[in-house]
Structure 1
Amino acid sequence: MQVHTLDKATIINELQFGVGINHAVHEGRRSDFALILSMFSDDVRDNTPVEVVQEPQTTDEILRQRFELQAPQALRSDQSSYSISAQQATQFHQSGLASAKLTHYLTPEPLTYLPEQTFDLPEEVYHNLSGHQRRHLAEKAPRQVIPADLYNQLISAQRHDQIRTQI
């Protein structure tokens, strides 16, 4: 047999040999048995039928729409969360705990009330920053890098100034 013929045979398991392996074992032909075994595929995926399973795409948003759920509870506060808290407090004082729980379940409060306009820093840390550090935090655009030819610009400006003063 030629090597290319053996490669194209794609022998996967013993069923493709029929009784050849059985005869090799019973007749004690170890070389034939070893040759047949060496031609088997060593890839498990060849022996096991593998199906591609199509997983349905499920995201949090899709499930919320399907089961008609409210938006998730906010993690941190914003300006609208203070009115929600005031509404829940009013419901508690007017109608009791059950009413306050119901309004919380319909429009949940955020989990934490963090200070605003402190660039996600705790208030104590933000107030301990210097004015320069606060200004750097407030800058939206990145700072301009010093130009590479700054020295040459300074020298030429100095020379022009010297020329103007002499004239």
Structure 2
Amino acid sequence: MQIHTLDKAGIINELQFGAGINHAVHAGRRADFSLILSMFSDDVRDNTPVEKIDEPEITDQTLRKRFELQSPQQLRSDQSSYDISAAQAHAFHHGGMASAKLNHYLVPETLTYLPEETHDLPEEVYHNLSGHLRRQLIETKPKNLLPADLYNQLVVAQRSFQISAQA
């Protein structure tokens, strides 16, 4: 019964004992001192006040918005990247290399120009595919597979037809 009351006491440090630990040291009562120390919590989180710190989520987008940066350079081409490339070529022909560099730094050009609508396949591979494979690449909805118990369904349907035909 007394053990359970000591467990519920939740003794964390020496401040909860008051002068008891001090008297045990000065009186030379090693057993009392050892008992008091053994009742302290060994979890450092009990001894140290811990507060939850709410850190704001820092993402690439929030940093770009905070420092007023433009969007990152695209990795793959799309329809808008051809206009950007044409504008840079126009700046190069009319203003030289410095104008083209400035235009690139303001609106960066994409890194690679890959063929479009080839489902991330190289163009020569995509054009070598059969029409059936190209159609399968276009279809986004998966086909319904045959049910696992198709044979049982067919047998039950045949037997029920035979019973209804005889009746």
User: Shorter-chain TM-score category?
Assistant: 0.7 to 0.9
Cross-structure match for 1:118: 118
Which amino acid is the alignment partner of residue 14 of structure 1? Answer: E
TM-score, length of structure 2 as denominator length: 0.77
The answer to whether the aligner puts 1:138 opposite 2:154 as a matched pair is no
Question: How far is 1:25 from its partner?
Answer: 4.3
Between the aligned partners of 1:131 and 1:142, the Cα distance in structure 2 is 18
Between the aligned partners of 2:53 and 2:103, the Cα distance in structure 1 is 43
Cross-structure match for 1:99: 99
Cross-structure match for 1:73: 73
Cross-structure match for 2:127: 127
The within-5 A match list for 1:14-53 is: 14-25=14-25, 27-53=27-53
Question: How far is 1:87 from its partner?
Answer: 0.9
- Higher mean C-alpha deviation, range 117-126 or range 69-78: 117-126
TM-score, length of structure 1 as denominator length: 0.77
Which amino acid is the alignment partner of residue 88 of structure 1? Answer: Q
Between the aligned partners of 2:46 and 2:140, the Cα distance in structure 1 is 58
**CA 1:17/1:126 → structure 2, altered by over 3 Å: closer, same or farther?**
same
- Give ranges in structure 2 of 5+ residues lacking alignment: 162-167
Deviations 1:23-53 (A, max 9, x none): 4345543332221122111211011111211
- Higher mean C-alpha deviation, range 26-35 or range 87-96: 26-35
Between the aligned partners of 1:133 and 1:126, the Cα distance in structure 2 is 9
SS class of match (1:132): helix
Which amino acid is the alignment partner of residue 152 of structure 1? Answer: L
Identity fraction in percent? 71
Between the aligned partners of 2:86 and 2:143, the Cα distance in structure 1 is 42
Between the aligned partners of 1:49 and 1:141, the Cα distance in structure 2 is 55
Between the aligned partners of 2:135 and 2:95, the Cα distance in structure 1 is 47
Which amino acid is the alignment partner of residue 103 of structure 1? Answer: N
SS class of match (1:12): coil
Question: How far is 1:131 from its partner?
Answer: 3.2
Deviations 1:42-72 (A, max 9, x none): 2110111112112123332233223222222
Which amino acid is the alignment partner of residue 119 of structure 2? Answer: F
